[in-house]
Amino acid sequence: MALKPVVFEVLLALADAPRHGWGLVREVEARLDSGPLLPGNFYRTLRRLLADGLIEEAPQPDTATGDERRRYFRLTAHGERVARAEAKRLAARVADARLRRLLKAR
């Protein structure tokens, strides 16, 4: 099943390291290039990802400076599998577009 773009981008952002909510907002906004995310929608997405077991709260990293009220999140093993499956699905779509000459071969 295809993931919504914002969901996939959150999973991608968490693939390499835990991040706090506002850091996720900034990274996802930059990657989607579709303007600012509405905070209510974004945090509702985070709650759904938590409920679905794709992400979990993470302890604040030792290197973190600033507000200790920040909540950090990380991928779960299930979240990594879902992100990997979505990446493969998208790669297959790109390969198909190349076969149909919609995109140039690399």
Give residue-wise pLDDT tens across range 26-63.
999 998 888 888 888 999 999 999 999 999 999 887 66
Tally of domains in the chain: 1
Residue 104, domain member (yes or no)? no
Residues in the chain: 106
CA 24 to CA 81: how far, in whole Å?
20
Residue type, 77: A
Tokens of 60: 């604040």
Handedness of CA 29, 26, 4, 10 (dihedral sign): positive
Answer yes or no: is pLDDT of 94 > 90: yes
Q: What percent of the chain clears pLDDT 70, i.e. is strictly above it?
A: 94
Which of 11-15, 18-22, 51-55 bottoms out in mean pLDDT, i.e. has the lowest?
A: 18-22
User: Could you tell me the CATH number of the domain that includes residue 65?
Assistant: 1.10.10.10
Its domain, for residue 34, covers 5-99
User: Is the pLDDT confidence value at 1 over 70?
Assistant: yes
Return the DSSP state at 38.
P
Ramachandran region of residue 70, left (φ > 0), alpha (ψ -120 to 50) or beta? Answer: beta
At 65 the pLDDT is: 66
